[in-house]
Amino acid sequence: MPGLGASFGRGGATDFLQALQHADCILIEGSNMAEAHPVGFRWVMKAKERGAKIIHVDPRFGRTSQLADVHLPIRAGTDIAFLGGLIRHVIENEAYFREYVVSYTNAPTILREDFQDTEDLGGVFSGFDPQTASYDTTTWGYAGDGAAAQRDDTLQHPRCVFQVLRRHFARYTPEMVQRICGIDSEDFRAVAETLVQNSGRERTTTLCYAVGWTQHTSGVQIIRAASILQLLLGNIGRPGGGIMALRGHASIQGSTDIPTLFDMLPGYLRMPHARAHAVTLADHIESGGRARGWWAYYDAYLVSLLKAWFGDAATAADDFGFAHLPKLTGNHSHFATMLRAIDGGVDGLFVMGQNPAVGSQHSGLQRRALASLKWLVVRDLSEIESATFWKDGPEIASGELRTQDIATEVFLMPAASHIEKEGTFTNTQRLLQWRDKALEPPGDARSELWFMHHLAKRVQAHYAGSTRERDWPICHLTWDYPECGVLREPDAEAVAREINGYDVSTRAPLPDFTALRSDGSTACGCWIYSGCFRGGVNQARRRDPGDIAAPGGWVSPQWGWAWPLNRRVLYNRASADPAGRPWSERKRYVWWDDPAGRWTGYDVPDFPVDKRPDYQAPADALAMDAISGDDPFIMMPDGRGRLFAPSGLLDGPMPTHYEPLESPLPNALHPDLDANPAAIRWQRPENPLHTTGDPRYPIVATTFRLTEHHTAGAMSRNLPWLAELQPEMFAEIDPALAADRGIEDAGWLTIETERGEIEALAKVTPRIRPLRIDGRLVHQISLPYHWGFAGEVRGDSTNDLGALSGEPNVSIQESKAFTCNVRAGRRAGPATARLADARLDRPVASDEDDPAAEYPSEIT
């Protein structure tokens, strides 16, 4: 999500699914939407019925491609080259939306003199330290900050963002796109023109993406490239425009909003870092807050969180308990934790609704890590692989591990299903929807809410009365949720009320986050969700679609509740021109009502509702006073969308094409570099990576989802209907490659990497076709990843093939592009037997953290 956050201010899809019907063009890339989000795709089809052009860019011709007007096959992992080509096309042909770009983006802002581009430094930006493979981002700043910012609205100054961007992408020509992506330059030009023709005052284009963009070592920068393109075309904040991030799980957006992620606190506040900003609350707030723009209220949000957690014990005199929070010293992500477990540094692990034994990248390593734990708690609906690795994993079959020797104590706890508990999911469009409880869970099955509540009570009872400083957060943790029914289920609405926030003295629910204060008078568990219990009403439980035929009725603002403040299209101030008038009647959405003196429209305006469009911020203004009436990106200190991101990213202020960590080809743009120089490689014997161009692994592998299965299959392989529809693991390979290797359609093939080998049935099909790149034929294979060694239908796990790798900003792995080899026939032995010897001579557990894996010190 940092890609969207660093560009616009918030880490969420800018639009909502129903808004897709009003797009004039939809570019779907990094997503197999028709198969992975079938019901969401109906809104793409609605747009098509209304005449919109649908473009699908994907290595594989799937159902999405079938229903699109255009399908461009692309080499997996080269999306920045493609999007960079579009950016160049828009700039060089002066096809950008000039008034939008000058007024609403940082295109005119002048950069520091000492900034140097990848084009000047052979592929890295200024500030790169090859020793640590990381950047000092100082030189990426503006020439003057805040009131001292310098701008050139003619966009001619050589150091203005627009000119820097133009030079940065100058080499991303259609011919270069063809050379890197394998896309015919004429096909590319046609798509570029389609986007241009369907953007501007009268028309809007939406981009849709999913994990086909995020799961790369440059994943955040791919989304940055999309953001830059949409800002240049003037498509952000407008109906039928924006960037639709398609999340893959019912509440993946919610899982980052209220993060079970190591580096964040609820609402995208930062976990304190031991070195950078943990000493005092004031230090932390100063490093996280902003003098200008919405983040100026960071202190109110953090103090209100501490009040929600520590209640009366959180006092101003004691920094509201801030100093008691645990502190980061580096990368403590899932992969780092599992490597620590292999080294014997983790006693226990809770796995709730996850299945790392087949669902996480490099599953063979994950299973070995599970076998290194002292105890493991798995909570799920059925006996998933992560709970049974000790008796039927491939490492048991190979003899590498013996069941009797695995010391891991395993608790497999039956979980409640989605209809056996109540609570909210946050969907892909930031919409919170409450589920009522239809049934009691069977037997000893319980919700995670129940589990955490009753675990907390036991832990608090154990530490009751302790005066040790380390126990202060446990002893003072507010935990008074009422229990309901014979199962003593905690009241989910009581938790939701705490998330919404309340007045500390009256316990009255807060109307929204504008009521939050930094003096300890308010408590709020997640500031961006404040308002979800406005007026004491569970807003997420609302089920009124409204009159969808009325003007703007398709927004359905009374159905559920979207963060922030029930806004459905983010940055919607930008749907009006600087003077506050709709850019066109056709794209009317939010506008300034001058007689009434307020912003109005079909949605909740994403702007101070009574701030006049002609308000000009005084030079010394602070907080929201520093945001002028024509600055639509209110989370940003200057109120502008970022073509160039001076902060918030660790691997560059602008996207640059790098090859995937594993690629058959060298980097055509930067021959001295292959992959993202800041990528995390987790270099260990257990995690061998293929070098660029390794002749043993000449084929590009990518992964995809089937409609009938869900992720690693724990929620689909045991369902008889779904299991029958997609019973077996298969691989899609092209006819030329199949002929070359003697692989027959419906026959077996084996796919191998240094991590493991798996077998699958071959689907020999032109759906995946070789691309001619630089005079060479590059073959790609496409793998679903839904199978494992337990469940009603079983099969080899694609995740046994991949290596651990990390995008620098978010540590996501590169599972959408890696190299492999294929051969006819079944595998020779258990999947990951080849790694058995790699576990010898491993290092002892270390508290030291990899300095190259530091985390962003800034929010925006």
Task: Report the residue from 139, 150, 197, 707 that binds other proteins according to the rule CB under 8 A.
Answer: 707
Half-sphere exposure of 267 (CA within 13 A, CB side): 26
**Contact positions with other proteins (CB under 8 A) in 224-253:** 246-253
Tell me if 188 sits within 8 A of 177, measured CB to CB: yes
Binding segment toward other proteins, per CB under 8 A, in 371-379, 515-523, 818-826, 835-843: 371-379
Distance, CA of 60 to CA of 696 (rounded, Å): 23
Distance, CA of 43 to CA of 244 (rounded, Å): 12
Distance, CA of 309 to CA of 339 (rounded, Å): 31
Distance, CA of 168 to CA of 655 (rounded, Å): 9
**Contact positions with other proteins (CB under 8 A) in 289-328:** 309, 323-328
Convert 406-440 to b/e letters by CB count within 10 Å (16 or more is b). Answer: beeebebbebbeeebbbbbbbbbbbbbbbbebeee
Under the criterion CB under 8 A, does residue 417 sit at the interface with other proteins?
Answer: yes
Q: In whole angstroms, how close is the CB of 217 to other proteins at the nearest point?
A: 13
Under the criterion CB under 8 A, does residue 609 sit at the interface with other proteins?
Answer: no
Q: In whole angstroms, how close is the CB of 213 to other proteins at the nearest point?
A: 14
Distance, CA of 20 to CA of 28 (rounded, Å): 12
Q: In whole angstroms, how close is the CB of 616 to other proteins at the nearest point?
A: 39
Looking at the Cβ atoms of 198 and 556, the one nearer to other proteins is 556
**Contact positions with other proteins (CB under 8 A) in 16-35:** 17-18
Binding segment toward other proteins, per CB under 8 A, in 83-91, 286-294, 382-390, 770-778: 382-390
Q: In whole angstroms, how close is the CB of 163 to other proteins at the nearest point?
A: 35
Under the criterion CB under 8 A, does residue 414 sit at the interface with other proteins?
Answer: yes
SS3 69: coil
Selection from 91, 93, 100 nearest residue 201 by Cα: 100
Q: In whole angstroms, how close is the CB of 851 to other proteins at the nearest point?
A: 11
Task: Report the residue from 274, 282, 579, 609 that binds other proteins according to the rule CB under 8 A.
Answer: 274
Under the criterion CB under 8 A, does residue 570 sit at the interface with other proteins?
Answer: no
Q: In whole angstroms, how close is the CB of 555 to other proteins at the nearest point?
A: 9
Under the criterion CB under 8 A, does residue 528 sit at the interface with other proteins?
Answer: no
Under the criterion CB under 8 A, does residue 550 sit at the interface with other proteins?
Answer: no
User: Which structure tokens are listed for 842?
Assistant: 């491993």
Looking at the Cβ atoms of 35 and 119, the one nearer to other proteins is 35
User: Which structure tokens are listed for 644?
Assistant: 């160039």
Q: In whole angstroms, how close is the CB of 546 to other proteins at the nearest point?
A: 8
**Contact positions with other proteins (CB under 8 A) in 449-488:** 449, 451-456, 458-459, 462, 470, 473-474, 477
Residue type, 453: H
Tell me if 756 sits within 8 A of 835, measured CB to CB: yes
Task: Report the residue from 197, 329, 521, 765 that binds other proteins according to the rule CB under 8 A.
Answer: 329
Task: Report the residue from 431, 627, 771, 820 that binds other proteins according to the rule CB under 8 A.
Answer: 431
Q: In whole angstroms, how close is the CB of 773 to other proteins at the nearest point?
A: 30
Looking at the Cβ atoms of 354 and 656, the one nearer to other proteins is 354
Looking at the Cβ atoms of 47 and 574, the one nearer to other proteins is 47
Looking at the Cβ atoms of 462 and 696, the one nearer to other proteins is 462
Looking at the Cβ atoms of 38 and 829, the one nearer to other proteins is 38
Q: In whole angstroms, how close is the CB of 780 to other proteins at the nearest point?
A: 23
The H or E element containing residue 211 is helix 211-214
Which residues, 6 or more positions from 363, have their beta carbon under 8 angstroms from its beta carbon?
356, 357, 797, 799, 800, 832
Selection from 677, 646, 645 nearest residue 661 by Cα: 677
Looking at the Cβ atoms of 119 and 392, the one nearer to other proteins is 392
User: Where does residue 811 fall: left (phi above 0), alpha (psi -120 to 50 degrees), or beta otherwise?
Assistant: left
Selection from 194, 128, 294, 180 nearest residue 663 by Cα: 180
Binding segment toward other proteins, per CB under 8 A, in 114-122, 175-183, 348-356, 683-691: 348-356
Tell me if 389 sits within 8 A of 797, measured CB to CB: no
